[in-house]
Structure 1
């Protein structure tokens, strides 16, 4: 009998393709506003800078355009799109509508394991706020809300939330230079209400938490009016 252990079926190891790597680099640059709205982008120039062929750059441009981050027009320069106020408000409405129901389900169904995962996420958030790492906090913020969806038994809705929130991500990311602690405190209050099984308190905290985006828009627009558009 062979002494070699028989492995259970495993998922193949997935390595990021060049196209994925190019997308990640450009996505982070647009998200952080290192490439602000109105910036002209050339496939050829970016391919040269990243030392890749033009095809993965073209693929990344397409993906970013589907998220609403790039404006691709035939015979014209590709540009980073403005931040559309109406798109943000619509996305906030969709997200709030979904996550209100998530709160009600989570208040009833969060298990001890789910609560432990959320506590661990908050512990990491505290470390990140202390270190001022906006990129990591942004990822942990997303993970917190994703964990809430999973804990409520509706993890599948995160894909819809994630698609819609792309419109708000640039505003959220920019606000994290000063707003990380405030966002984390909102998470703490949401989790406290859920731990107490108080669905309505959790919903109220969620509405306050997500509703802060309007004040953030006003502040950022006052400082960077050219980045924003009222068109949807």
Structure 2
């Protein structure tokens, strides 16, 4: 086999990545609410890019469940599916319980310091009332545990299923729920530091199960966010 050149990672995200991030954030924050119509041409024009990176971003968003693409009737922001949220909760619980069990006794001082720093950042976000910042730090906490445990692929699998769950989480992140999530993250951290896998498994299970309560809270805000069918 002939030798191949070593590729260098790009210095910054591609145009398609930037379009994806912008649209995903708009959907999560309800700047683009469920059922909103969205077009490649309009997005490309507003963002000052060609349609190709927008098309790539649309495909990625559709695969994750954020968009519904119908060639004959156009593209719309997908409504939130309760069944998809439940699937994501089940998948995350199964994967993260095992990850936390593995993390206990495995994470060293440096990894624990990284998690502690994230918890401090979460405390600052709670104090500042920074909903989106807390949401991002929440993800970073769970991702770091996976990566430091040597199972970063687990977080990749979680990302593939949690689009609908993310919208519920962000919509329900009021001051009270942020404080509750922070306390549970601290409990998870303490269980890992104490090498207590049973405690870690119990906390993550109840932590992720809280999404059921959040669904009802979001429904009370506006039931139109949800799909009419269970799937």
So what's the TM-score if we normalise by structure 2?
Answer: 0.91
The answer (yes or no) to whether the contact 2:172–2:217 under 8 Å persists in 1 is no
* 13 and 51 in structure 1: CA distance in 2 versus 1, 3 angstrom threshold: closer
Residue 231 of structure 1 and its aligned partner are, at CA, apart by 2.7
Give the Cα–Cα distance (whole angstroms) in 1 for the partners of residues 147 and 13 of structure 2.
25
1:82 alignment partner in structure 2:
79
- Aligned length, in residue pairs: 224
2:164 alignment partner in structure 1:
167
Give the Cα–Cα distance (whole angstroms) in 1 for the partners of residues 77 and 27 of structure 2.
7
2:220 alignment partner in structure 1:
222
1:79 counterpart SS class: strand
- Greater shift in the superposed pair: 37-46 or 93-102: 37-46
Q: Aligned Cα RMSD in Å? A: 1.6
Give the Cα–Cα distance (whole angstroms) in 1 for the partners of residues 124 and 181 of structure 2.
14
- Note if 1:148 corresponds to 2:145: yes
Instruction: List aligned pairs for 1:149-228, cutoff 5 A.
Output: 149-178=146-175, 179-228=177-226
Give the Cα–Cα distance (whole angstroms) in 2 for the partners of residues 177 and 54 of structure 1.
37
- Note if 1:21 corresponds to 2:25: no
* 207 and 76 in structure 1: CA distance in 2 versus 1, 3 angstrom threshold: same
1:83 counterpart SS class: coil
- Note if 1:138 corresponds to 2:135: yes
Residue 74 of structure 1 and its aligned partner are, at CA, apart by 1.2
Q: Which structure 1 segments of 5+ residues have no match? A: 1-8
Residue among 46, 54, 57 paired with 2:54: 57
Residue 156 of structure 1 and its aligned partner are, at CA, apart by 2.1
2:122 alignment partner in structure 1:
125
Q: Which structure 2 segments of 5+ residues have no match? A: 1-5
Larger radius of gyration: 1
- Greater shift in the superposed pair: 140-149 or 9-18: 9-18
Residue 159 of structure 1 and its aligned partner are, at CA, apart by 0.5
2:91 alignment partner in structure 1:
94
Residue 222 of structure 1 and its aligned partner are, at CA, apart by 2.0
* 199 and 224 in structure 1: CA distance in 2 versus 1, 3 angstrom threshold: same
